[in-house]
Structure 1
Amino acid sequence: MPANVRVLVVDDHTLVRRGTREILERRAEIQVVGEGADGEEGVSLTGQLRPDVVLMDLGMPGMGGVEATREIKQRWPQVNVLVLTVHDDDQYLFEAIRAGASGYLLKDVHDHELIDAVLSVAEGGAVLQPAVTRKLVAGLRLRGGVLDEAPPPSPLTQRELQVLRLVARGLSNREVSDQLGLSVRTVETHLSHVYRKLGVSSRTEAAVLALRESWLDEIS
């Protein structure tokens, strides 16, 4: 994780941006480097400021959060996007994950959970609230498929499954490597194989598929 986590807050409500800044900056290692009022401004500021994490609302006038997330991930894939929104319906959830969001939080999240999520995402982790995860899994089961029209999942090796279980719990590559006694590069290689076999392109998509297929004993 960067020594100083630089965060850009994108939300169309001034009071929400101000309150979010105050919460995040309670932690000395978090610095809010900018605020955007819509998706277009969020994309522009990301290019100017190159934050570690963009905290993104979804329902904004003009360019919405999903489109902004997609553009940010296409142009600056190293920037992590964490969605913070009031929207918990299936379509927003699926579209945000497809766009490349590393996590999805609802605005009723506790202050300490928001701070922990930002720090986790900055380190490469994936963050899903339990309520959001349950909704995603239920939606996947109803749809009878994965997030995209990908081929059926290929069998994973035991080691790939171990890595995926830890990733689905929100651990970063470094934390996974520490728990399994592997190098970070080896963890990255296993994840690359997992993505290819499952037909997904992000940690969050892989985590959701793991939950759908009942590969996790519990969600922590």
Structure 2
Amino acid sequence: MKRILIADDHEAVRSGLRAVLEQRADWEVVAEATDGGKAVAAAIQSQPHVAILDFSMPRMTGVEVARRMRDYRLQTEILIFTVHNSGLIAQQAFEAGARAFLVKSDANKLLLAAVESLLMHRPFFCTNSIIEYDGGPGPHGERHHYGLTSREQLVVKLVAEGYSNKGISAILDLSVKTTEAHRAAAMRKLEVNSTAGLVRYAVRSGLVEA
């Protein structure tokens, strides 16, 4: 029996994925998670063959979850699942260790093929109109800023979700001073001078959903 983890903060999405996946008699959804932290814990506990991770989850992106899973040396194949048809996210996903990238609009026709590919330890990368990762204008007309580290991106995501520096520090197990340094570095690189600017970037780059 092939074990599958689904991590997405929308119950309807998880239910839909489960219904599609469990059409296969030899596949079983053994765990579900509603945010990034729970996804890491569920992966460690259930040791799935495949993890389907929503990119825009609370607390951690699917890409950050993928990195954490690699840190724990889990032998899980990872699929990043997103509404954003973005070359930036796709590159981040593969750099983090994911081996499949799927836009949610393609799920009905491609999800089973993507999981089958991962179960054979083959990558799967197919979208309708993937945007090149070239530093040019993104899907909303903004210009991406690629200088942010993964930790800076995570801090920006948490800022956009409404967490204070103290709250972010608790989630990431950092000192408040270190969190403030990451936040300041992100603002400098993004050339913004307010929390609102960080939130706009987080929405436009797909770190959080609008």
TM-score by length of 1: 0.58
Is 1:78 the equivalent of 2:72?
no
After superposition, the C-alpha distances for 1:58-95 in whole angstroms (9 at most, x for unaligned) are 11111221111111122134111111110222332221
Partners of 1:106 and 1:112 in 2: how far apart?
Answer: 11
Q: Give secondary structure in 1 for the equivalent of 2:68.
A: helix
> Is structure 2 residue 95 aligned with structure 1 residue 98?
yes
User: Which of 118, 121, 125 is equivalent to 1:121?
Assistant: 118
In the alignment, structure 2 segments of 5+ residues that lack a partner are 137-145, 147-210
1:199-210 paired onto structure 2 within 5 Å: none
What amino acid is aligned across from residue 85 of structure 2 in structure 1? D
Deviation at 1:40, TM superposition (A): 0.7
Determine the structure 2 residue equivalent to 1:154. Answer: none
**Unpaired runs of at least 5, structure 1:** 148-220
The alignment partner of 1:87 has SS state of coil
Structure 1: how far apart are the matches of 2:39 and 2:120? 21
1:39 aligns with 2:33: no
Q: For residues 110 and 47 of structure 1, do their structure 2 counterparts lie closer, same or farther at Cα, with a shift above 3 Å needed?
A: closer
The two structures, once aligned, show a CA RMSD in angstroms of: 2.3
Give the aligned partner of residue 141 of structure 2.
none
Amino acid at match of 1:99: A
Distance across 1 between alignment mates of 2:90 and 2:101: 8
Q: How many residues align?
A: 139
3-state SS, counterpart of residue 108 of structure 1: helix
Give me the whole-angstrom Cα distance separating, in 1, the residues matched to 2:34 and 2:47.
Answer: 17
Tell me which of 31, 35, 51 is aligned to 1:54: 51
1:130 Cα deviation after fit: 4.2
Q: Does 1:139 align with 2:136?
A: no
- Given the two structures, how large is their TM-score scaled by the length of structure 2? 0.61
State how far apart, in whole Å, the 1-side matches of 2:99 and 2:11 are: 24
User: What is the aligned counterpart of 1:66 among 52, 63, 67?
Assistant: 63
One-letter code of the match for 2:27? I
Identity %: 33
Q: What is the distance in 2 between the residues matched to 1:95 and 1:110?
A: 20
The one-letter code matched in structure 2 to 1:81 is I
